[in-house]
A and B are shown apart, each in its own frame.
Chain A
Amino acid sequence: MRRTEIQKVAAVVAAATTLFMAANTLHGAYAHSALAGTGATIKTIDKYQMAFQLYPRLPSAGQNVTLHFTVLDRNNSNVNGVYAAMVMKEKESGKIEAQVPYRFYELGDLSMHYKLNDNKDHVATLFTRVIGDPKYMASPLTADFDIPVGQTTMSLGELLIQVVPFTAALIGGLALLFKKKNWGPQR
């Protein structure tokens, strides 16, 4: 009887887990078109959505990063044919660190690479001229995206130097507790 109860609980929990996993699979299927849930920063300007994703998500100084931009129209479809340029600034001082000149992209799905020189927050400004849209061909769609550059970095070795003694003390303390016989009066 007891075993049956445990089996029932296990079955309910397994079913719940399967349900959540299925929900997440669906989530993955529609995520690209809607951009929601992708972790992208989305800016809506007029009838366009501009999304930005950074790889790695939290970079540190000296690291090469990939800036991925997506320009979608009101139907959540990639815009066909854009000219895009990018300006990288230091967030606090506003100092321009780099400029990527206008280039033609067949789809509004573009990636740029940049090497971060210091651990300071940056801002990437994307300028997009949309072919076929007179308004945004004349003056570009402009969107700023924050790039947080890691303030605290720790190598695996540095972290292990702290974590290993702590874990050893925790497990050692527990082992001592269990080794000690007759742990005081019963209460």
Chain B
Amino acid sequence: MEKNYRPAKNQQSYVLLRRGWTVQRLCIISIIGISGLGLDVVFHTLDTSALSIVFDGATWNGREFVSDNPPWILAISWTGHLTFLTAFAMLIVMPKIFFAKGTEKIDYRTGQRWVAFKPGRTVRLMWLIALIGVIGLSLDLAFHWAQDGGPEQVFLNGFAENTFPVNALALAAHVLFMIAFTMLIFLPKILFARHTTTMPPIAT
């Protein structure tokens, strides 16, 4: 990816998207992620309760949260889940908060699109959101490792206690969610071919 310079305050920052990518196509990642999240809510509701989407490892018994885990494992659970849900919420609103509306231009020589960032938005800021996602995911891995004895439980959560349909639901939910999440983590690399402060002349 071509490096660039700090834009002046009155300059818009332009990015060249990789071939086949558009700002709207980011919504596809969001749809995959939201579907994963939706299926995960259904899975947790069938398995224990919908609250487990945040407070995994603890069960609400109508009066208080109860768990076989010590408090530090529960703390890792809810901090991890809240962190990656926050990063994920950022992915969902990313097209709206990062890119200026109506700035997309197609270079017909290559079929790639130039698009302008909103003021104050940069690729580095996008990497910071990816970092929040990495922290959230690492905490979730640590939680499942501590609770269930292995990081693979991020995918296989609840497998031991359930039967085929619920297990399939859990696996589908976690795979969809992880696909969206992996794409979020590497999004700047996946999405951008080049950055520049001014849009070069293009064949439109």
Interface residues of A (CB under 8 A from B): 2-3, 5-6, 9-10, 13, 16-17, 20-21, 23-24, 26-27, 36-37, 39, 56-60, 63, 148, 150-156, 159, 162-163, 166-167, 170-171, 174, 177-187
Contacts and interface: CB of A to CB of B under 8 A. Distances in A.
A37 B27 contact: no
A6 B165 contact: no
Contacts of A6: 24-25, 27-28, 31
Nearest to A62: B63
Contacts of B125: 177-178, 183
Contact of B31 (A10, A151, A163): A10
Given A24-B166, A163-B82, A186 B68 contact: no
Contacts of A13: 31-32, 35, 176
A153 B83 CA distance: 23
B9 A181 contact: yes
Given A152-B71, A170-B86, A187 B3 contact: yes
B6 A174 contact: no
Given A152-B67, A154-B58, A16 B82 contact: no
Contacts of B162: 37
Contacts of A159: 55, 65, 78
B24 A182 contact: no
28 contacts: A2-B25, A5-B25, A6-B25, A13-B32, A16-B35, A16-B172, A27-B163, A27-B164, A56-B61, A57-B48, A58-B61, A60-B63, A63-B61, A152-B66, A152-B74, A153-B65, A154-B71, A156-B65, A159-B78, A179-B120, A182-B7, A182-B120, A183-B124, A185-B3, A185-B124, A186-B7, A186-B124, A187-B3
Given A3-B24, A37-B163, A170-B83, A63 B63 contact: yes
Given A56-B61, A186-B3, 7 more contacts: A2-B22, A24-B165, A151-B68, A154-B65, A154-B67, A178-B125, A184-B124
Contacts of A17: 35, 38-39
B86 A171 contact: yes
Contacts of B67: 58, 150-154
Contacts of A166: 79, 82
Given A37-B163, A154-B58, A186-B4, A58 B66 contact: yes
A159 B55 CA distance: 10
